[in-house]
Amino acid sequence: MAAARDSVEAGEAEGTAGRQGSSGVEVVFPSDPAAAAPLCPHGPTLLFVKVSQGKEETRRFYACSACRDRKDCNFFQWEDEKLSEARLAAREAHNQSCQPPLSRRQCVERYLRFIELPLAQRKFCRRCQQLLLPEDWGEHRKHHLVGDISVTQLRRPSQLLYPLENKKTHAQYLFADRSCQFLVDLLSTLGFRRVLCVGTPRLHELIRLTAPGDKKSNIKSLLLDIDFRYSQFYMEDSFCHYNMFNHHFFDGKAALEVCRAFLQEDKGERVIMVTDPPFGGLVEPLAITFKKLIAMWKEGQSQDNSHKELPIFWIFPYFFESRICQFFPGFCMLDYQVDYDNHALYKHGKTGRKQSPVRIFTNIPPNKIVLPTEEGYRFCPLCQRYVSLENQHCEHCNSCTSKDGRKWKHCFLCRKCVKPSWIHCGICSHCAVPDHSCEGPKDGCFVCAELGHKRSTCPNVRLSASTNKAVRKQKQRKSNKMKMETTKGQSMNHTSVTRRKKRKERAHQYLCS
């Protein structure tokens, strides 16, 4: 839980600070969009550059678009590096070896065979995360198998599959039922009939689970997700294996056309995109991808509708508001707190730092979106939108200013509302946390404030960890030594008492003899 909290706070620092003048690694988009990037197992790589104190280093490099940790994907290539034919062939072989063992067509065929099996023969391997056909049983006989897989279970694969919880790569934090049901009800109320679910598998499930005859059952959904395991639960028209960081369809043009047809159906009317990217992902590649999906939708629009926008719900932490609005100026942030089943911190109803920081960013006018009053949301007639209960309207800002659900206070020197725990610093001339460093740089490492690195690679973290470990070992040795000395002392004391007692007994016997 502590690690998760650190990642949230580090993300907040990155989201609020922005990228200008910061240190670390930034994405570079080539001026020639036709230039082909080298491929890794996750599709086309992205071009990066190291930045130190606002200055770019001269040599740029390609790395994986989806994995920010090289332990997950170790692809690395300098932009100007020339590779031999042998290395290119070896890389191609490696990329192929990392692909799913079955093609999309094979997964569909296996699924159709699986649902025809009697209930007693429907088995799922927990270890391999795979639906099993009878000919597979021998290979998995020593694994943990789940039998009698019902149709309802097949329609809720997120409850059968183990979530991938790498924060920087997959980060499958699944919507809690409360948030998921709210989204489905809201989409239905707003009149949408098709939902492009980009990385929201549980929302996709709930839309498809709605009972026939229900008004919401008219909604169709298409899931785009990087987790290939979902291929074994869905037909080709309801799931595409997809990387949202580089707009890559793993199954090629066929999957691309499925997505295009879905967006352009009914001339692109009453369709919305809902996305819930990994919070460790970079905002800029995501924004570029979403703009490509928007362009795909616009291809089916007539010139008369060229002013229209594809409705979007982008679900992300509130401290990335400035970054998201940098790429989508028409977006606004709703006060609704999105919570997750398998995340210890992102829970609704908690207060302060413990509440969920995840919000909905959208280009839909906020006055059209009704938030549930039974959960503490209220309508502000001045702002013409629903806000959280503690988000009070500031007469000086003329807005409900809180971002994190707490009641903020107005600073007349800064001329804006700030978090309740912040104070105005006369040296910095702005509000900040009470124990901030006035002379330290605003960007850079979250731990030591140095500009040359980020928190994840801070040497002070490693030094502090190793020092603390050494101190703990020293304390443990000292404690063990004290215990041994105490035990030894107690043993010696017991021995001396026994000897004195025996001497007294011998003396008593001698005197009485």
Half-sphere exposure of 194 (CA within 13 A, CB side): 19
Q: Please give the pLDDT value at position 244.
A: 96
Length, in residues, of the chain: 513
Tens of pLDDT, residues 364-374: 999 999 999 99
- Give the pLDDT mean for 96-123: 94
Q: Please give the pLDDT value at position 464.
A: 46
**Confidence class for position 110, pLDDT limits 50, 70, 90:** very high
Q: Please give the pLDDT value at position 19.
A: 38
Average confidence score pLDDT of the chain: 82
Pairing outcome for strands 399-400 and 393-394: antiparallel
Which residue has better confidence, 492 or 31? 31
**Confidence class for position 340, pLDDT limits 50, 70, 90:** confident
Which residue has better confidence, 1 or 60? 60
Q: At what angle do helices 177-189 and 201-209 cross, to 10 degrees?
A: 60
Say whether pLDDT at 148 is over 50: yes
- Give the percent of the chain with pLDDT over 70: 73
Q: Please give the pLDDT value at position 36.
A: 85
- Give the pLDDT mean for 192-212: 90
Nearest to 174 by CA among 204, 131, 140, 142: 204
Say whether pLDDT at 21 is over 50: no
Strands, E assignment, 230-364: 239-243, 248-249, 271-275, 312-317, 332-333, 358-362
Strand partners, 317: 358
Say whether pLDDT at 259 is over 90: yes
Q: Please give the pLDDT value at position 129.
A: 93
**Confidence class for position 29, pLDDT limits 50, 70, 90:** confident
Q: Please give the pLDDT value at position 20.
A: 40
Say whether pLDDT at 236 is over 70: yes
**Confidence class for position 33, pLDDT limits 50, 70, 90:** low
Q: What residues does each domain of the chain span? A: 23-98, 100-155, 170-369
What does 429-453 look like in DSSP terms, one character per residue? Answer: TEEE-TT--SSS-SSS-TTT--SS-
- Give the pLDDT mean for 102-108: 93
Q: Please give the pLDDT value at position 3.
A: 33
C-alpha span between 312 and 361 (Å, rounded): 8
**Confidence class for position 301, pLDDT limits 50, 70, 90:** confident
pTM for the model: 0.79
To the question of domain 170-369 being in CATH 3.40.50, the answer is yes
Which residue has better confidence, 337 or 1? 337
Reduced to 3 states (helix: H, G, I; strand: E, B; else coil), residue 333 is strand
- Give the pLDDT mean for 102-112: 94
Say whether pLDDT at 121 is over 80: yes
Q: Please give the pLDDT value at position 76.
A: 94
C-alpha span between 14 and 445 (Å, rounded): 10
Say whether pLDDT at 431 is over 70: yes
Say whether pLDDT at 509 is over 70: no
Tens of pLDDT, residues 353-398: 457 889 999 999 999 999 999 988 999 999 999 999 889 999 999 9
Say whether pLDDT at 34 is over 70: no
- Give the pLDDT mean for 18-37: 68
Distance of CA 127 to the CA centre of its chain: 24
**Confidence class for position 486, pLDDT limits 50, 70, 90:** low
